[in-house]
Structure 1
Amino acid sequence: MDSSLLADLVLNGLQFGLMLFLLAAGLTLVFGIMDFINLAHGSLYMIGAYFTASFTLLTGSFWLGLLLSVAATVVVGIVLEVLVFRRLYHRNHMSQVLATFALILIFNESARLIWGEQPLRLSTPDILSQPIQLWSGFDYSSFRLFIIGTGLAVAALLYFIVTKTRIGMLVRAGASNREMATAMGANIKLIFTSLFAVGAALCAIAGALLGSILSVQVGMGESILILAFVVIVVGGIGSIRGALIGSLLVGGVDTISRTVLPPLFRSFMSPEAASNLGPALASILIYVLMAGVLFFKPEGLFPARS
């Protein structure tokens, strides 16, 4: 394997992992602090992508479309928290799963009615449409580099807020002991609403950035939601650091295995069989990683209560 291919694999894995982090960060805080299973988290990612595509087409600017999409998705997240989720906090997990799964169906059918069956194409901004030469003989997508930079900046900002500010102290207190935090005067209701707003904003950013690489289509949130749950289980529920490390591990395993395994299998089986087996085994390896982590550390790599 030459250095260019290795660098491409590392950067692609980093890019995908950081996009997973944007989804997993909000999900792990909601799950860790509120003990609330929100299967509709992936639907906010889908809605954010659709909003970005629509606002970009309306304004003619990707950046303005992104800002409007974040604002609109935050409003949707807050409305969901106030009108629906508050009635589910004291229910058991089965009720939460059933209710939020129903929201997935509602969001999917609403998106199908509003935007139609056909996938939408979200173009990258012109300023990031050309590759950048990182060194002699190796060019890399400037937009993917922007995604990496955005993910790292968001990770650093969230880590600073959670570990160095009063707001973060309240979040960590809620993750460790919600009843004690309430007894000490923390406004848990406001914290819950703020967490949903932050999670919705991160979903919109991830939807906009990944929607520019992939197609924007109905149901796009379900598959990536499964990976986000894998990430928070691997990293530790309620932990921002765990979500980041887990995202990078899952993104790296998925990207590298999907690239390396098919050529490896072609050396001793037919190209068609190798092309089918490689991606399938790559998907399995993610869950093997999760099982391995849970075997040695059942609470994840960096549990919030550690």
Structure 2
Amino acid sequence: MSLILLIEQVLNGLQLGVMLFLMAAGLTLVFGVMGLINLAHGSLYMVGAFACAAVAAATGSFWLGLAASLAAAAGAGALVEITVIRRLYRRDHLDQVLATFALILIFSESVRWLFGSFPLYLDTPPLLAGAVTLPGGIEYPLYRLAIIVAGLVVATGLFLLIGRTRLGVRIRAGESDREMIAALGVDIDRLYTAVFALGAALAGFAGAMVGAIQSVQVGMGEPVLILAFVVIVIGGVGSIKGALIGAILVGVTDTLGRFLLPIAFGAVMEPSAATAIGASLASMLIYILMALVLVFRPTGLFGAGA
């Protein structure tokens, strides 16, 4: 195992982490501000990926597809919030889980009806094709590096939005005492729709960016949704900083585990057995990490009371 290969895997883990952050940031905003468990968040990730792939195929422009993914996911999120989610805020979490699970089925069947059951493929834009040479002679795909940069830029923008703008003040106030800000004249319905649409747009953006790395297919959002919930538990509900740190921890842990564990077991057993056992244990690492965080910080790394 060379140092260059290890660094490449760390970068792959960072790339996975920033994608998980885009998913988890919207999810933690919705849960923190509205107290809503939204299982359909992964479907908005899928909507963004399909919108990007369809528009890019029709126009030949990845960038138009990327804009379409943001618009489609935000629009779908706002529509869902107004028509369905708004009726769930005062209901218990079981009702929220059942209703948003139904939305998963509706989104999946709607996308299958519109685009068919076969996966779509999104080409990497020519501007970001090829590899770039990093310090130390590391050749790394330019597109994956662009994903890392884009994710960090979005994270910075979110920190500024939440911490420095009037909307951010209202979001934080809504998280602390929604009745008080309603009494002060803030339109709670519009605030909740804006927060939900923002979270949906982030998920759609993540889906569009990942669409050029893997195939775009029905149901692609559910596995990512599970990882996003793990990120929220580790980082702390309602914390954007926690979502970023938790996402990077999960991304790097998962990637390095899948890379290093088979190599480690290969030193003491046959390669085929080492690969099988290493892959199995690697899939457990992020849940072990989550359990350890919960033992020492039950509210997460940056959650309330942490």
TM interval, short-chain normalised: over 0.9
1:180 aligns with 2:180: yes
State the secondary structure of the residue aligned to 2:151: helix
> Per the alignment, in what secondary structure is the counterpart of residue 140 of structure 2?
strand
Asked if 1 retains the 8 angstrom alpha-carbon contact of 2:28 and 2:239, the reply is: yes
1: CA distance between counterparts of 2:209 and 2:83?
Answer: 29
Which stretch shows the higher mean deviation, 136-145 or 178-187?
178-187
1:192 aligns with 2:192: yes
Q: Give the structure 1 partner of residue 156 of structure 2.
A: 156
Within the alignment, does 1:145 sit opposite 2:160 as a pair?
Answer: no
- Give the TM-score normalised by the residue count of structure 1: 0.96
For residue 276 of structure 1, report the CA deviation from its aligned partner.
Answer: 2.2
Q: Distance in 1 between matches of 2:186 and 2:304?
A: 18
Alignment of 1:116 with 2:116, yes or no, is yes
From the superposition, tell whether residues 36 and 127 of structure 1 become closer, same or farther in structure 2 (CA, over 3 Å).
same
Q: Is the 8 A contact 2:299 2:305 kept in 1?
A: no
Is 1:288 matched up with 2:260?
A: no
Find out whether 1:93 has 2:93 as its counterpart. yes
- 1:179 is displaced (CA, Å) by 2.6
Of the structure 1 ranges 206-215 and 177-186, higher mean CA displacement relative to structure 2 is found in 177-186
Aligned 1:3-18 pairs, distance under 5 A:
3-18=3-18
2:260 matched to 1:260? yes
Cα drift, residue 305 of structure 1 = 6.5
What secondary structure, in the 3-state scheme, does the structure 1 residue paired with 2:269 have? coil
Give, in angstroms, the shift of residue 66 of structure 1. Answer: 0.8
| Contiguous gaps of at least 5 residues in structure 2 | none
SS in 2 for 1:14: helix
1:229 aligns to what? Answer: 229
Aligned counterparts of 2:184 and 2:302: Cα–Cα separation in 1: 26
- TM-score (structure 2 length as normaliser): 0.96
Query: What is the CA–CA distance in structure 1 between the aligned matches of 2:208 and 2:276, rounded to whole Å?
Result: 29
In the alignment, is residue 45 of structure 1 matched against residue 42 of structure 2?
no
Take 1:159 and 1:81, find their aligned partners in 2: how far apart are those partners?
24
Shift of residue 178 of structure 1?
Answer: 2.3
Decide whether the 8 Å contact of 1:175 with 1:305 is kept in 2: no
Give the match for residue 271 of structure 1: 271
Amino acid at match of 1:85: I
Q: Which residue of 1 aligns with 2:66?
A: 66
CA deviation map 1:110-147 (0-9, x unaligned): 22222222211111101111100113531100001100
Could you tell me how far apart the structure 1 residues matched to 2:101 and 2:270 are? 40
2-structure distance, mates of 1:150, 1:27: 19
Which string of whole-angstrom CA distances, capped at 9 and with x for unpartnered residues, describes residues 73-127 of structure 1? 2111111000010111111100000010011111112222222222111111011
| Range moving further from structure 2, 26-35 or 262-271 | 262-271
Contact 1:175 1:304 (C-alpha < 8 Å) held by counterparts: no
What residue number does 1:201 align with? Answer: 201
Deviation at 1:304, TM superposition (A): 4.8
Question: What SS class does the counterpart of residue 29 from structure 2 fall into?
Answer: helix
Secondary structure of 1:139's counterpart equals strand
Percent identity, aligned pairs only, is 57
Task: Give the CA deviation at 1:176.
Answer: 2.0
Q: Secondary structure at the match of 2:132?
A: strand
Partner residue, 1:250: 250
CA deviation after TM superposition for structure 1 residue 271, in Å: 2.3
Gaps of 5+ in 1: none
Contact 2:17 2:249 in 1 (8 A): yes
- Give the letter aligned to residue 17 of structure 1: G
2:242/2:302 contact within 8 Å kept: yes
Moved more, 129-138 or 290-299: 129-138
CA contact (8 A) 1:176 1:305 kept: no
Counterpart CA distance in 2 for 1:153 and 1:237 is 22
Q: Report which stretch shifted further, 146-155 or 135-144.
A: 135-144
What's the RMSD between the two structures over aligned residues?
1.3
The answer for the alignment partner of 2:77 in structure 1 is 77
Deviations 1:190-244 (A, max 9, x none): 1110011111111111001111111111111110000000101110101111100
Which residue number corresponds to residue 104 of structure 1?
104
Question: Could you tell me which residue of structure 2 aligns to residue 300 of structure 1?
Answer: 300
Describe the SS at the equivalent of 1:268.
Answer: coil
Change (3 A) 1:218 1:112: same
